[in-house]
């Protein structure tokens, strides 16, 4: 029995979510929301991996998603710690005011 939904549907949904994540990173200036948009992009990549893994009948793709989740958890912990220490020093989360590395 073959799957009823063409794989393109999953890929298009994933592309749409990735695009929304890119837009969020580009237009938002709140550091936490930019960070959440990055999580959204990671998830859309995960959806592509799981879709191909399932349609090809190979579990390696889902293994890769497991590792991506591990890295995302580590990234969220460290990133939020950086945001907390940034807020402690600058008292703002607006990315336009955090520009000490710009010249």
Beta bridge partners of 30: 94
**Using rule CB under 8 A, residue 55 touches other proteins:** yes
Secondary structure, 3-state, 30-51: EHHHHHHHHHHHHHHHHHHHHH
Interaction residues for other proteins, span 16-45 (CB under 8 A): 16-24, 26-33, 35-37, 39-40, 43
Interaction residues for other proteins, span 63-92 (CB under 8 A): 63, 65-67, 69-78, 80-85, 87-88
- Close Cβ partners of 79 (under 8 Å, ≥ 6 residues apart): 35
| C-beta closer to other proteins: residue 47 or 103 | 47
């Amino acid at each position: 029995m073959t799957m009823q939904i063409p794989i393109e549907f999953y890929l298009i949904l994933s592309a749409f979510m990735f695009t929304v994540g890119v837009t969020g990173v580009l237009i938002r200036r709140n550091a936490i929301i930019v960070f959440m948009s990055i999580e959204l992009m990671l998830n859309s990549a995960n959806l592509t991996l799981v879709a191909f893994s399932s349609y090809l009948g190979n579990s390696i793709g889902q293994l890769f998603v497991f590792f991506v989740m591990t890295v995302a958890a580590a990234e969220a912990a460290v990133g939020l710690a950086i945001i907390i220490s940034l807020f402690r020093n600058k008292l703002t989360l607006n990315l336009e005011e955090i520009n000490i590395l710009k010249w």
